[in-house]
Amino acid sequence: MNIADLYERDLNKLIEEINLFKNENDLWEIKGNIKNSAGNLALHLVGNLNDFIGRILGHTDFIRHRDDEFSLKDVPREKLVSDITSLKEIIKNTLPKLSEEDMKKEFPVKIREQVFSTEIFLIFLLAHFNYHLGQINYLRRML
């Protein structure tokens, strides 16, 4: 197993979580002090990985609109799943092309003024992804 396999596994889990919402409208619900809906967290994850892996490492023409990730509502479930499926392909076409040498190089962008190797940053992104994936799971079960 390699890091691309881990991303594919977790993106499949995100699709599963989105599809487990019995009522599609619940994807956009918040409860109590929770500020972000499961749908907005999914949009955030897709935007984040399309930007850092797709655009920066894969040289796609993706343009991120981060504010929309948290403000858009009622995006159809089908569109969320389609966007995640497209992202899986971008990751499959990007990460396996990185050599061991590429993984040791500095990630091309500083993150909060910190420099990371590409390998460490990909692990950081995966941890960030799973943090929000856990939130989506919790929200689904709460609702």
If 0-12 CB within 10 Å is exposed, 13-18 middle and 19+ buried, where does residue 113 land? exposed
Q: Does residue 33 surpass a pLDDT of 90?
A: no
Q: What is the pTM of this model?
A: 0.96
The residue with tokens 């796609």 is 60
The residue with tokens 């939130």 is 135
Q: Tens of pLDDT along 61-116?
A: 999 999 999 999 999 999 999 999 999 999 999 999 999 999 999 999 999 899 99
| Res 86: pLDDT | 98
d(CA 38, CA 132): 9
Where does the chain have alpha helices with state H?
Answer: 3-20, 38-49, 66-71, 77-94, 100-104, 118-142
Q: Tens of pLDDT along 1-24?
A: 899 999 999 999 999 999 999 999
CB-based contact 112:43 (threshold 8 Å): no
Q: Which domains does the chain have, with CATH numbers?
A: 3-142 (1.20.120.450)
d(CA 54, CA 61): 8
| Res 15: pLDDT | 98
15-46 CB burial, b ≥16 within 10 A, e <16: bebbeebeebebbeeeeeeeebbbbbbbbbbb
| Res 126: pLDDT | 98
| Res 32: pLDDT | 83
pLDDT, the chain, mean: 97
pLDDT band at 31 (very low <50, low <70, confident <90, very high): confident
CB-based contact 121:7 (threshold 8 Å): no
Q: Please tell me the total number of residues recorded for the chain in this structure.
A: 143
| Res 115: pLDDT | 96
